[in-house]
Structure 1
Amino acid sequence: MTGIITSRDNALFEAGIKLGALYHQFTGSPINLDTVQSMEVAISRSISVQPFVETITVNIDRDMIRSRLNQEFGYCELEGRMLDVQLKVVFEDCTAVVALEYDQVLEYPLMKIKHVRQK
């Protein structure tokens, strides 16, 4: 079936691509409590330069980092479950707000659409 691709379709596609890229680019990075803030800034700045990104907020769960620190070397790896990301993408007349959040029930970091608004 074919149809017209709308600005809403493109806004959601762009938002999903950015969350997926963020997740796969940064998970596994070495991190500790001294570097967590700079990692949040690095992720935000990296994604914010991409087309159609209006805002991004990145928070990394410090309690999870604390609980996973390797005692001998003093760091752990950034996991998807540690990330709480809110992203706003604007494509033409459409604004999509999406998130990457850890779902406690599913024990899994989920990407989801928070809301979509078309002018």
Structure 2
Amino acid sequence: MDPTTPQAACFEAGIKFGTLYHQFAGTPVSPDSSASLERAIAEAVENQPFCESVDVEILDDVLAAELDEQSADYTELTGRFMEVELVVDYEGCRVHTSMSMEGDYPRMRVDRVEDA
């Protein structure tokens, strides 16, 4: 059986999150560079097919708290420092997804599917 359009749209969203997370995890980040990194991540992921929008928020308060605990002026980007919303439009089916921390794990989830 071939996947349905909503299933394919959800798969596309998963590809975007895999790219986003695994391409940018480990990037050096500080409160001074977080805004430019947010834009760079969003613009890079938006280049992918079927990606309608990406909103990346680096949590500067969480980042600053981490930096207060260490001697360096930066740390490595991980899921605990960002929240992401991503929308994929695949053949008229829009999938709204998000990423935020759930306990110690950056949880990526499908929030809503709008089938045309």
Q: TM-score range by the shorter chain?
A: over 0.9
Matching residue of 1:50: 48
| 1:117 Cα offset (Å) | 0.9
Aligned amino acid, residue 76 of structure 1 = T
| CA displacement at 1:71 relative to structure 2 | 4.9
Whole-Å separation in 1 of the counterparts to 2:23 and 2:2: 32
Q: TM-score, length-normalised on structure 1?
A: 0.91
Aligned to 2:104: 107
Amino acid at match of 1:57: D
Alignment map for 1:76-95 (pairs within 5 Å): 76-95=75-94
**What is residue 67 of structure 1 aligned with on the other side?**
65
What secondary structure sits across from 1:41 in the alignment?
Answer: helix
Question: What does residue 34 of structure 2 align with?
Answer: 36
Matched, 1:24 2:22: yes
Spell out, residue by residue over 1:27-49, the C-alpha distance to the aligned partner (whole angstroms, 9 max, x if none): 11101111000000000000001
Give the root-mean-square deviation of aligned CA atoms: 1.2
Amino acid at match of 2:108: M
Structure 2 segments unaligned to the other structure (5+ residues)? none
Q: CA offset at residue 94 of structure 1?
A: 0.7
Residue 65 of structure 1 and its aligned partner are, at CA, apart by: 1.0
TM-score between the two structures when normalised by the length of structure 2: 0.93
Listed one character per residue, the Cα deviations across residues 35-82 of structure 1 (whole Å, up to 9, x for unaligned) are 000000000000001000011100011011101227543111111111
